[in-house]
C-alpha cells in the first residue's frame, strides 16, 4: 500500500522500479509524477496479481503506470481517477502484455498506449461516466493483439461508440466516444471484441440513408431521404417509397405516416408520389371516405354518388326513407324501396312506405300473398271465396301476375270461369260443369231435386196431418218437437258465416297480446281449442241440411252456361229463376200430389187389399167413390175420407183436390223457407271492399256482389238482381207469412180453431200452440229466422264481431219473449215450452260465449272451459230432444195400437209393419208405462190425480235402463203434473165465473169436457161465417189492442154439444193432466157466447146424472199449504186470458162461498193476496184407486 506519494520531476510517483513481481495486492493511492508513471514506473517487466490505483496523475502520460520494457502480466487491474492528457496505462516496448480483468474509470486522457510484440487484454471495462470522450485515442502496436474492451458511456452522451480502426502506420486505434452528429445510438455501453468494434453502432438517424455504413464516425455520410421517400429505420442504407394514397413533397421524411395522405375523395395508386397533383378524384358511383386511399370504393347498396370526388356516398334513406340501391349507384333515381316497402307515387319524392299487411314487397312493388288480392297498386285485400277452407287466390308471382285457383278468375278471383260454378256465394268455383252432363241431364237433375223437396213437404204433412185414424186431429208432439229442432238447426246453420280462426280481435286485445309477448299469428283470432273448431264446423254443416233440397245453384249456373249465358246476364237470369223458384216448387208439389192421388194412392190401397188395380181402371176410382161423399160429416167419417195416406180424398173433384193439396203447398213453402230466404239474401249479399284508384291512389269503399265481385252492388247490372230479390222477399217471405196468417185467422174466424177445415188446412202451423198464440210459429219464429239470416248472410253487419254480438242480442230477445209468453200449450207438463226454452238457451249460451271470448280474450285454458260448457249444453239439448221425441213417438204408437187393435193386413207392407210393431212392443210398453204414470182417475164417483210408479222387475235389462233414463229426464215433468192439473182446474173455474156461471160440480164438468175434446171435438167447432178482409183486420186490432172479442150469439149446435157430453159421461174414462189442459185451451178459444153454451150444457148433464159426484174438497187450509214455488198465480194468468177477471175484482171478492152440505165442492173466499188453486183428495177422503195402490197424489 503506497499512498500520497509524488515525484514532481521524475517518473513513478509512488513506485519507481526496474522490475516488479508481486504475488500480493498492490494498492496505490494519491500518487503523482511530474514526468510519466504517476503511480508506478517499471523499467523492465511487471508481474502482479492485483493492482489497485486511485487518484493517479502524470504530466507527460502514463498516469497510472508505465512499463518501458519486458513482459507485463497483471491478473487484476483497477484504476480510477487518473488525471492528465496522456494514456492511463503505457507500455513502451514490451514483449508480451497480458492484462486480466481491468476496470478503468474516470480517465482524463486515453485509456492505454501499448507497444509490444504480443498484446492480450481480457475484459477491460472503461467507465467513462461524466468525463468527456475524445480527448485521447488509445493505441495498440503489436504483431499479435487480442483486445476485449467494454466502454460504459455517460447517460448524457449522444450514444456510446467503442471504435477500433487501423491507423496508417499499422497501429490499432481504439476510442470510447459519443456518436458524431447526426449519428446516434441509444446505447450506454459499447464493446470491442477481439480488437474489433461493431460496425455502424452509431447509426444515421431516421429520415436519412447511410452512404458509408462501415464508418460510423463519419457524420457526413447520413443523407436525407429525397421527396416521395421516407426513412423509417435508422442506419438504413436506403429510403422507402411513400405508399399508395400518400405523397411526400419534402425530404427527410421519417415515416410513412409523415408522408402526406391524399385527401378524402382523391386517391393515388402508385408508390413514391412527390406532390398533391398525383392524387386523382374518384369517379361517380365511387367514393374515398378516408384520406390516403389508394383506390376508390364502390358505393355500397343503399347509397349513391352522383358527383366526382365524393368522400361519402349519399344514403338513399336521407332523401327517400326505407329505400336502397344496387352497389355503385351514381344517381338518386337508382334508389328503390327496400324489401318490406313499396314506392308510394302519390307522395312527394315517391316515398317508400311499409309494405301493407298480407303482402310482400319486391323492388318497390307490392305483391299479394296467397289468399289475398291486389285491389289497387298498393292495397292488399283478403279474398272472400274459398274451397274447403283454402282461398281461391294463390297470390302474385314475381312478375306481378295474380294466380287464381282453376275455375276462378277476375277481380279477387271472384268470378267463375266459363264452365265452372259454385255451390254458395262464399265458396269458390270448384264444380266443373262438364262432369254434370248436357242440358237434358241438368234439367232432369233439377226436376229431381224439386221432386225430392216436394216429397219432404209431403212427409212433414203426413206426420202432422196424415194417418186417417187420427181422431180429432190430436196434437202430434213428434211434429211439434221436429219443428223446434228444425228452427234450432236453421239458426245454427247461420253460423257457417263465422270462422272462429279468422274472427278479428279488438285493438286493445291485440295490443295486450303483443305486450304479453305473443308471437307470430297468435295475435289474430280467438283462443279456442282445436277440437272445438272441428265441432263448430260440424255443427254448421249439420245446420246446412235444413236448407232443403231446392238449392240447385251449381246446376242452375251450369245450365245457364250451356244455354250461352255469360257474365252479368248469367246472374240476372239466375235472379229471375230464384224469384220464381217457390212457384216452381209449388208446381212440383201439385204434380206430385196428382201422382199420389191418381197413381200411388190407388196402387197402395189395392196392394193393401191384396189386388193391384189395373192402370186402365184408375180413372174410374173418383166416380166409384163419389157416392161415399154423401155420408155424415163426423170427425171419424171426415178423417176416413182421406184414404190416400190421410192426405187426399180419392173421390174428390178439382176443388177438393186443391183443398187437399193446399196444406202440402203451404208446408212445402214453409219447410223450405230457410233456403228460399237464403237464396234471396244471396242475391243481396254484398261484400264491402276497399278499392284503390290507380291514378290518385285514393282508397274508396264499394259493395261488390258476392257471386261476381266484378259487379257493383245496386248499380248497373245488379239493379235488376236487387229488384228480383226484393220482389221475392216481399212475395215469398213477408207475403207468405202474411198470407198464411190471414188464411189461418180467416179460417179460425169462419170455422173455429178446432174445426176440421182449420185443422186440416193449417194444423201444421197451429199444432201445439196455445190458442192465444196460434200465430207464434207464423210470425214470431219466422221473424227470428229472418233477422238471424239478415245478420249472418248480408252486409247488415259487415264486421264479424258485430255479427257475433247481434246474434247474442237477437237470441236473448227472443228468449225473453218466449219466456214471457210461453206460447205452447201446457200439455205434458209444458213439454213444448220446455224444449223451445232449452233450444233458445243453447243458442243464447253459444253466442254469449263467443261474445265473451271476443271481448274479454281469456287464456286458452279458460277458453277451453267455455268451449266445454257450450258443447255440453248443446249436447244436452239434443239428447233431451231425442229422448222426448222417441218417447212421444212410442206413446203415439201405443195409442194407435189401442185404437186399431191388431192389424190383419197380409200384404208385404202390412207384414213389415207388424214385424216392426212387434219388435217395438216392449219399448213402447216401457215408455208409455213411464210417461203415463200420472193420470186423472174418474172411477166410482171420485176424481183424483194418481201417480203410480211402473213395475221394472219383468223387463229386460236394456228396457230397465231406458226406463230409468226416461224417469230421470222426466222427473221435473212428474213434479209439474199436479201443478198443471191445478192450473187447468183453476182456469176452468175462472172461465166459468167470467161467463157468469158458478158451478157446483166443476171438476166433473171439466172431466166431461175433456172427454168431449178427446173423442168428438168437432162439436166444439163453431159454425162458419164469412167476413171481409177489413172485418178480419178489425177483429185483429180489437183483439190485439183492446183484448176483447166482437159480441155475437152462439154458433155451436146445442143438441150436438149435449149429445157429446152425454156420451162422454157414459164412457167414464180416465183423463190425463194434458187432456185437462187441452180442454181448457179449447174452451178458452171459443167466443164468450159459445163458452156459456158449452158450460151451461155441461152443468145440465152433470146435474141430470146426480149419481156422479166429485169428491174433491177445496178448503182455505189447503190453499195455505200449497207451495208458493209450484202454485201458479191463476188470478193473473186467467185475467190475461180473457181480459174480464181483473175488470170485475169487486164481484169476485164479494162472491159468496158456496159450501155444499154434502162436502162435494167448496170454493173459498179469497182476496188479492191469495192464489186460486185446486187440490186433489187424499186416502183419508175416501179415494178409491180401483184396486191399485195409489202411493202418491
Express each pLDDT in 885-924 by its tens digit: 877 776 666 555 555 555 555 556 556 666 665 555 555 5
- pLDDT band at 724; cut points 50, 70, 90: very high
Q: CA-CA distance, 130 to 787, in Å (whole number)? A: 119
pLDDT at 919: 54
Q: CA-CA distance, 733 to 677, in Å (whole number)? A: 7
pLDDT at 719: 92
Express each pLDDT in 328-346 by its tens digit: 998 888 888 888 888 877 6
pLDDT at 576: 92
Candidate from 165-179, 450-464, 619-633, 1158-1172 with smallest mean pLDDT = 1158-1172
Express each pLDDT in 250-283 by its tens digit: 888 888 888 888 888 899 888 888 888 888 899 9
- pLDDT band at 1129; cut points 50, 70, 90: very low
Residue 37 zone, left/alpha/beta (φ > 0; ψ -120 to 50; rest) = left
Find where cell 249444453 sits.
873
Express each pLDDT in 925-983 by its tens digit: 555 555 444 444 444 444 455 545 555 566 666 666 766 666 665 555 555 556 667 77
The C-alpha torsion from 1144 through 1147 and 1153 to 1156, rounded to 10°, is: -80
Contacts of 929 (CB under 8 A, 6+ apart): 950, 951, 963
Q: CA-CA distance, 393 to 372, in Å (whole number)? A: 6
Express each pLDDT in 66-89 by its tens digit: 888 888 999 899 998 888 878 888
Residue 508 has pLDDT above 50, yes or no: yes
Contact 33, 12 (CB under 8 A): yes
Residue (of 769, 751, 770) closest to 761 by Cα position? 751
Q: Taking the CA atoms of the chain, what radius of gyration do you get in angstroms?
A: 63
Residue by residue, DSSP assigns 244-287 as TTEE--SS-B-SGGGSEEPPTTEE--SS-B-SGGG-EEPPTTEE
Residue 512 has pLDDT above 80, yes or no: no
Find where cell 190416400 sits.
644
pLDDT at 298: 92
Contacts of 331 (CB under 8 A, 6+ apart): 304, 306
Helices 673-683 and 718-728, axial angle in degrees (round to 10): 160
Q: CA-CA distance, 649 to 794, in Å (whole number)? A: 44
Select the highest-mean-pLDDT range: 490-499, 894-903, 973-982, 1129-1138.
490-499
- The mean pLDDT of the chain is 75
Return the percent helix, strand and coil in the chain, to nearest 5: 45, 20, 35
Select the highest-mean-pLDDT range: 581-585, 748-752, 855-859.
581-585
> Exposed (0-12), middle (13-18) or buried (19+): which is 1003, by Cβ within 10 Å?
buried
User: For residue 954, what is its C-alpha cell?
Assistant: 219383468
Looking at the whole model, is its pTM more than 0.75? no
pLDDT at 616: 45
pLDDT at 501: 66
pLDDT at 135: 59
DSSP state of 780: I
Across the range 229-248, mean pLDDT stands at 86
Residue 107 has pLDDT above 80, yes or no: yes
Contact 1111, 941 (CB under 8 A): yes
Q: CA-CA distance, 74 to 58, in Å (whole number)? A: 21
DSSP state of 1181: G
Express each pLDDT in 374-396 by its tens digit: 888 888 888 888 887 788 888 88
pLDDT at 720: 92
Q: What Cα–Cα distance (Å) separates residue 313 from each residue in 18, 343, 679? A: 94, 22, 65
User: Parallel, antiparallel, or unpaired for β 6-7 and 222-224?
Assistant: unpaired
DSSP state of 190: E
Tell me the percentage of the chain whose pLDDT exceeds 70.
72
Residue (of 121, 101, 8) closest to 51 by Cα position? 101
Express each pLDDT in 11-20 by its tens digit: 888 888 889 9
pLDDT at 192: 86
- Between 62 and 312, the more confident residue is 312
pLDDT at 287: 92
Express each pLDDT in 661-676 by its tens digit: 888 898 888 888 777 8
How many CA atoms lie less than 13 Å away from 673 in the CB half-sphere? Answer: 29
Across the range 199-221, mean pLDDT stands at 79
pLDDT at 974: 54
Express each pLDDT in 1059-1093 by its tens digit: 888 777 776 666 666 677 778 877 877 777 888 88
For the chain, the distance separating the N- and C-terminal CA atoms, rounded to the nearest angstrom, is: 156
- pLDDT band at 787; cut points 50, 70, 90: confident
Q: CA-CA distance, 1087 to 1048, in Å (whole number)? A: 8
- pLDDT band at 1029; cut points 50, 70, 90: low
Amino acid at each position: 500500500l503506497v499512498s500520497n506519494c509524488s515525484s514532481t520531476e521524475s517518473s513513478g510517483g509512488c513506485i519507481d522500479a526496474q522490475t516488479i513481481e508481486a504475488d500480493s495486492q498492490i494498492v496505490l493511492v494519491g500518487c503523482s509524477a511530474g514526468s510519466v508513471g504517476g503511480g508506478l514506473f517499471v523499467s523492465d517487466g511487471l508481474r502482479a496479481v492485483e493492482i489497485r490505483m486511485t487518484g493517479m496523475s502524470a504530466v507527460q502520460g502514463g498516469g497510472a503506470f508505465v512499463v518501458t520494457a519486458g513482459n507485463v502480466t497483471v491478473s487484476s487491474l483497477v484504476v480510477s481517477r487518473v488525471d492528465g492528457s496522456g494514456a492511463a496505462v503505457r507500455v513502451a516496448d514490451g514483449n508480451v502484455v497480458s492484462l486480466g480483468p481491468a476496470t478503468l474509470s474516470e480517465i482524463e486522457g486515453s485509456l492505454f498506449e501499448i507497444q509490444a510484440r504480443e498484446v492480450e487484454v481480457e475484459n477491460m471495462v472503461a467507465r467513462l461516466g461524466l468525463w468527456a470522450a475524445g480527448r485521447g485515442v488509445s493505441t495498440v502496436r503489436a504483431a499479435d493483439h487480442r483486445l476485449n474492451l467494454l466502454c460504459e458511456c455517460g447517460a448524457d452522451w449522444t450514444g456510446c461508440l467503442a471504435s477500433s480502426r487501423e491507423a496508417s502506420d499499422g497501429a490499432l486505434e481504439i476510442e470510447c466516444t459519443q456518436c458524431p452528429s447526426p449519428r446516434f445510438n441509444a446505447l450506454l455501453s459499447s464493446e470491442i471484441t477481439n480488437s474489433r468494434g461493431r460496425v455502424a453502432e452509431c447509426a444515421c438517424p431516421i429520415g436519412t440513408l447511410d452512404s458509408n455504413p462501415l464508418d460510423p464516425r463519419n457524420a457526413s455520410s447520413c443523407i436525407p431521404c429525397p421527396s416521395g421517400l421516407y426513412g423509417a429505420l435508422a442506419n438504413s442504407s436506403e429510403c422507402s417509397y411513400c405508399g399508395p394514397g400518400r405523397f411526400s413533397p419534402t425530404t427527410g421524411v421519417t415515416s410513412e405516416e409523415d408522408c402526406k395522405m391524399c385527401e378524402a375523395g382523391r386517391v393515388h395508386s402508385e408508390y413514391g408520389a412527390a406532390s398533391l397533383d398525383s392524387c386523382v378524384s374518384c369517379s361517380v358511383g365511387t367514393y374515398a371516405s378516408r384520406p390516403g386511399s389508394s383506390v376508390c370504393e364502390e358505393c355500397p347498396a343503399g347509397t349513391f354518388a352522383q358527383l366526382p370526388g365524393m368522400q361519402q356516398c349519399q344514403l338513399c334513406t336521407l332523401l327517400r326513407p326505407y329505400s336502397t340501391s344496387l352497389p355503385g349507384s351514381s344517381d338518386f333515381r337508382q334508389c328503390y324501396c327496400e324489401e318490406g316497402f313499396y314506392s308510394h307515387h302519390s307522395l312527394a319524392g315517391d316515398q317508400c312506405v311499409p309494405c301493407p299487411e298480407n303482402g310482400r314487397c319486391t323492388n318497390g312493388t307490392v305483391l299479394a300473398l296467397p289468399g289475398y288480392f291486389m285491389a289497387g297498386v298498393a292495397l292488399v285485400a283478403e279474398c272472400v271465396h274459398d274451397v274447403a277452407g283454402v282461398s281461391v287466390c294463390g297470390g302474385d308471382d314475381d312478375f306481378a301476375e295474380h294466380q287464381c285457383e282453376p275455375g276462378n278468375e277476375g277481380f279477387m278471383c271472384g268470378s267463375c270461369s266459363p264452365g265452372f260454378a259454385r255451390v254458395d256465394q262464399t265458396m269458390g268455383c270448384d264444380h266443373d260443369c262438364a262432369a254434370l252432363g248436357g242440358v237434358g241431364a241438368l234439367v232432369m237433375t233439377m226436376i229431381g231435386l224439386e221432386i225430392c223437396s216436394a216429397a219432404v213437404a209431403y212427409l212433414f204433412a203426413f206426420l202432422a196431418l196424415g194417418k186417417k185414424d187420427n181422431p180429432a186431429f190430436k196434437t202430434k208432439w213428434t211434429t211439434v218437437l221436429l219443428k223446434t229442432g228444425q228452427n234450432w238447426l236453421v239458426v245454427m246453420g247461420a253460423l257457417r258465416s263465422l270462422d272462429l280462426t279468422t274472427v278479428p280481435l279488438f285493438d286493445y286485445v291485440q295490443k295486450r297480446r303483443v305486450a304479453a309477448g305473443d308471437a307470430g299469428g297468435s295475435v289474430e283470432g280467438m283462443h279456442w281449442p282445436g277440437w272445438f273448431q272441428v265441432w263448430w264446423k260440424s255443427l254448421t254443416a249439420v245446420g246446412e241440411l235444413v236448407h232443403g233440397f231446392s238449392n240447385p245453384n251449381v246446376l242452375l249456373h251450369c245450365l245457364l252456361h250451356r244455354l250461352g249465358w255469360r257474365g252479368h246476364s248469367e246472374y240476372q237470369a239466375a235472379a229471375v229463376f230464384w224469384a220464381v223458384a217457390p212457384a216452381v216448387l209449388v208446381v212440383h208439389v201439385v204434380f206430385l200430389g196428382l201422382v199420389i192421388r191418381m197413381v200411388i194412392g190407388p196402387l197402395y190401397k189395392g196392394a193393401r187389399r191384396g189386388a193391384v188395380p189395373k192402370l186402365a181402371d184408375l180413372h174410374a176410382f173418383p166416380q166409384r167413390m163419389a157416392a161415399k161423399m154423401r155420408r155424415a160429416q163426423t170427425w171419424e167419417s171426415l178423417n176416413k175420407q182421406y184414404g190416400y195416406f190421410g192426405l187426399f180424398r180419392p173421390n174428390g173433384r178439382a176443388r177438393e183436390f186443391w183443398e187437399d193439396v193446399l196444406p202440402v203447398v203451404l208446408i212445402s213453402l214453409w219447410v223450405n223457407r230457410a233456403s228460399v230466404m237464403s237464396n234471396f239474401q244471396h242475391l243481396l249479399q254484398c261484400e264491402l271492399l276497399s278499392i284503390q284508384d290507380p291514378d290518385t291512389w285514393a282508397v274508396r269503399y264499394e259493395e261488390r256482389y258476392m257471386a261476381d265481385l266484378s259487379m257493383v252492388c245496386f248499380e248497373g247490372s245488379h239493379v235488376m238482381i236487387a229488384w228480383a230479390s226484393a220482389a221475392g222477399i216481399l212475395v215469398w217471405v213477408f207475403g207468405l207469412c202474411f198470407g198464411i196468417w190471414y188464411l189461418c185467422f180467416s179460417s179460425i174466424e169462419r170455422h173455429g180453431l178446432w174445426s176440421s177445415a182449420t185443422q186440416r188446412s193449417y194444423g201444421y202451423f197451429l199444432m201445439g200452440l196455445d190458442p192465444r198464440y196460434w200465430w207464434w210459429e207464423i210470425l214470431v219464429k219466422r221473424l227470428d229466422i229472418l233477422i238471424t239470416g239478415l245478420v249472418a248472410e248480408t252486409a247488415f253487419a259487415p264486421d264479424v264481431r258485430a255479427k257475433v254480438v247481434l246474434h247474442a242480442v237477437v237470441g236473448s230477445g227472443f228468449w225473453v219473449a218466449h219466456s214471457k209468453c210461453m206460447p205452447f200449450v201446457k200439455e205434458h207438463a209444458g213439454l213444448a215450452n220446455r224444449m223451445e226454452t232449452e233450444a233458445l238457451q243453447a243458442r243464447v249460451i253459444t253466442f254469449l260465449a263467443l261474445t265473451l271470448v271476443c271481448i274479454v280474450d281469456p287464456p286458452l285454458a279458460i277458453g277451453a272451459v267455455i268451449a266445454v260448457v257450450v258443447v255440453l249444453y248443446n249436447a244436452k239439448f239434443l239428447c233431451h230432444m231425442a229422448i222426448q221425441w222417441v218417447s212421444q213417438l212410442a206413446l203415439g204408437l201405443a195409442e194407435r195400437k189401442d185404437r186399431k187393435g191388431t192389424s190383419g193386413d197380409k200384404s208385404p207392407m202390412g207384414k213389415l209393419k207388424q214385424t216392426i210393431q212387434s219388435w217395438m212392443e216392449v219399448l213402447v210398453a216401457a215408455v208409455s208405462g213411464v210417461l203415463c204414470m200420472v193420470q186423472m182417475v174418474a172411477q166410482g164417483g171420485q176424481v183424483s190425480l194418481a201417480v203410480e210408479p211402473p213395475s221394472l222387475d219383468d223387463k229386460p235389462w236394456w228396457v230397465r235402463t231406458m226406463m230409468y233414463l226416461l224417469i230421470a229426464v222426466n222427473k221435473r215433468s212428474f213434479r209439474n203434473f199436479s201443478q198443471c192439473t191445478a192450473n187447468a182446474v183453476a182456469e176452468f173455474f175462472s172461465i166459468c165465473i167470467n161467463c157468469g156461471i158458478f158451478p157446483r160440480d166443476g171438476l166433473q164438468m171439466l172431466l166431461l169436457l175433456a172427454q168431449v175434446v178427446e173423442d168428438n171435438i168437432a162439436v166444439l167447432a163453431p159454425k162458419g161465417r164469412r167476413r171481409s178482409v177489413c172485418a178480419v183486420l178489425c177483429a185483429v186490432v180489437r183483439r190485439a189492442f183492446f183484448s176483447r172479442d166482437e159480441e155475437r150469439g152462439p154458433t155451436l149446435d146445442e143438441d150436438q154439444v149435449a149429445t157429446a157430453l152425454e156420451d162422454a159421461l157414459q164412457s167414464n174414462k180416465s183423463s190425463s193432466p194434458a187432456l185437462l189442459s187441452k180442454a181448457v185451451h179449447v174452451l178458452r178459444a171459443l167466443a164468450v157466447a159459445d163458452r156459456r153454451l158449452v158450460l151451461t150444457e155441461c152443468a145440465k148433464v152433470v146435474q141430470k146424472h146426480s149419481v156422479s159426484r166429485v169428491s174433491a174438497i177445496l178448503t182455505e187450509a189447503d190453499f195455505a199449504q200449497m207451495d208458493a214455488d209450484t202454485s201458479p198465480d191463476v188470478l193473473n194468468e186467467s185475467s190475461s186470458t180473457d181480459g174480464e177477471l181483473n175488470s170485475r175484482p169487486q164481484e169476485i171478492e164479494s162472491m159468496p162461498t158456496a159450501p155444499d152440505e154434502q162436502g162435494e165442492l167448496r170454493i173459498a173466499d179469497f182476496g188479492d193476496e191469495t192464489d186460486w188453486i185446486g187440490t186433489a183428495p187424499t186416502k183419508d177422503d175416501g179415494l178409491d184407486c180401483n184396486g191399485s195402490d195409489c202411493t202418491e197424489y
